[in-house]
């Protein structure tokens, strides 16, 4: 029996998922398994796509649909429920019906990738999308206080980028800064989040959830100020391994 898996999102030019899962399937001798990219300009195209692909058994979810996928799900695992978003979906096809279950492998992968990093008590999460929710749920587990940084704050846990420039105490106090936005991702690797990098020091840790490129301008700017840095490559590989295990359930 053929089993098709893939990645939905838009755009998908940065993704290395096809290479990863194709190699995993080949190494395991799973000749009937394949993995494809499914760029969807609109999440409304999801159900028609599923109907047209009877071999589809599951898919990863990336920007901008990790939260938008939730209404389509019949069930969510504990991590997905806590984060309020999913980056993996498994399909259960029976008698012409398709039931979707959502999982979040980003949160445990992010948690694992923090091993060996000095503990920080206050953090800034750049962005308010699906990745930021997984980061926040991890910080909740670790009792790390955090604020989201958003262009358009909607609650008291969110602040503006402008405030970072206006009040140096914010950067000084929050020594762990996580980029959970796509800013700086391939092919726009000349961009970086708009924060006052000159306020950073050796006390700071910059973590970029982006893995392509592995050494973003965000990280380079931080390193230039003496900050510790970490790319999203380890998080990507860890969540991909967890996803692979789900695909073989």
For residue range 37-65, list pLDDT tens digits in order. 999 999 999 999 999 999 999 999 999 99
List, by residue range, all CATH 3.40.50.10860 domains of the chain. Answer: 3-104
Are the CB atoms for 163 and 170 separated by under 8 Å?
yes
List, by residue range, all CATH 3.40.50.720 domains of the chain. Answer: 107-235
- What pLDDT does 95 receive? 80
CB contact set of 140 (below 8 Å; sequence gap of 6+): 82
Q: Which residues pair with 148 in a beta bridge?
A: 125, 158
Q: What angle do CA 110, 131, 116 make, to 5 degrees?
A: 20
Mean pLDDT, the chain, whole residue set: 96
- What pLDDT does 139 receive? 97
pLDDT in tens, 80-102: 999 999 999 999 998 888 999 99
Helix 130-142 and helix 106-113, axial crossing angle in degrees, nearest 10: 50
Pair type for strands 3-9 and 56-61: parallel
pLDDT in tens, 217-229: 999 999 999 999 9
- What pLDDT does 76 receive? 98
Sorting pLDDT into bands at 50, 70 and 90, what band is 201?
very high
Tell me what the mean pLDDT of segment 225-236 comes to: 97
| Neighbour order of strands in the sheet with 228-230 | 158-160, 145-150, 122-126, 176-179, 205-208, 228-230
Q: Of 3.20.20.10, 3.40.50.720, 1.10.10.410, 3.90.180.10, which CATH number belongs to 107-235? A: 3.40.50.720
Helices (H) and strands (E) in the chain, counts: 9, 12
Report the CATH architecture of 3-104.
3-Layer(aba) Sandwich (3.40)
Instruction: Identify the three-state secondary structure at position 93.
Output: strand
Are the CB atoms for 206 and 218 separated by under 8 Å?
yes
Specify the pTM.
Answer: 0.95
Pair type for strands 97-103 and 158-160: unpaired
Are the CB atoms for 113 and 235 separated by under 8 Å?
yes
Percent of the chain whose pLDDT exceeds 70: 100
pLDDT in tens, 133-171: 999 999 999 999 999 999 999 999 999 999 999 999 999
Instruction: Identify the three-state secondary structure at position 119.
Output: coil
Q: What angle do CA 234, 218, 8 make, to 5 degrees?
A: 55
């Amino acid at each position: 029996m053929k089993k098709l898996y893939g990645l939905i999102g838009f755009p998908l030019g940065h993704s290395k998922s096809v290479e990863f899962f194709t190699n995993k399937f080949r190494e395991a001798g799973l000749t009937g398994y394949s993995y494809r990219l499914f760029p969807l300009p609109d999440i409304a195209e999801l159900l028609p796509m599923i109907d047209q692909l009877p071999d589809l058994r599951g898919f990863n979810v990336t920007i901008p649909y990790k939260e938008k996928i939730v209404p389509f799900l019949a069930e969510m695992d504990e991590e997905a429920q806590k984060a309020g978003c999913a980056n993996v979906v498994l399909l259960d096809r029976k008698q012409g019906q398709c039931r979707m279950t959502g999982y979040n492998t980003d949160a445990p992968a992010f948690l694992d990738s923090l091993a060996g990093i000095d503990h920080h008590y206050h953090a800034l999460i750049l962005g308010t999308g699906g990745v930021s929710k997984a980061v926040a749920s991890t910080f909740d587990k670790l009792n790390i206080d955090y604020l989201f940084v958003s262009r358009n704050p909607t609650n008291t846990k969110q602040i503006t980028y402008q405030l970072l420039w206006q009040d140096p105490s914010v950067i000084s106090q929050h020594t762990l800064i996580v980029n959970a936005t796509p800013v700086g991702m391939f092919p726009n690797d000349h961009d970086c989040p708009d924060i006052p990098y000159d306020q950073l020091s050796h006390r700071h840790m910059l973590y970029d959830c982006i893995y392509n490129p592995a050494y973003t301008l965000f990280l380079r700017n931080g390193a230039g100020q003496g900050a510790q840095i970490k790319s999203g490559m380890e998080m990507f590989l860890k969540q991909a391994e967890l996803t692979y295990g789900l695909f073989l359930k």
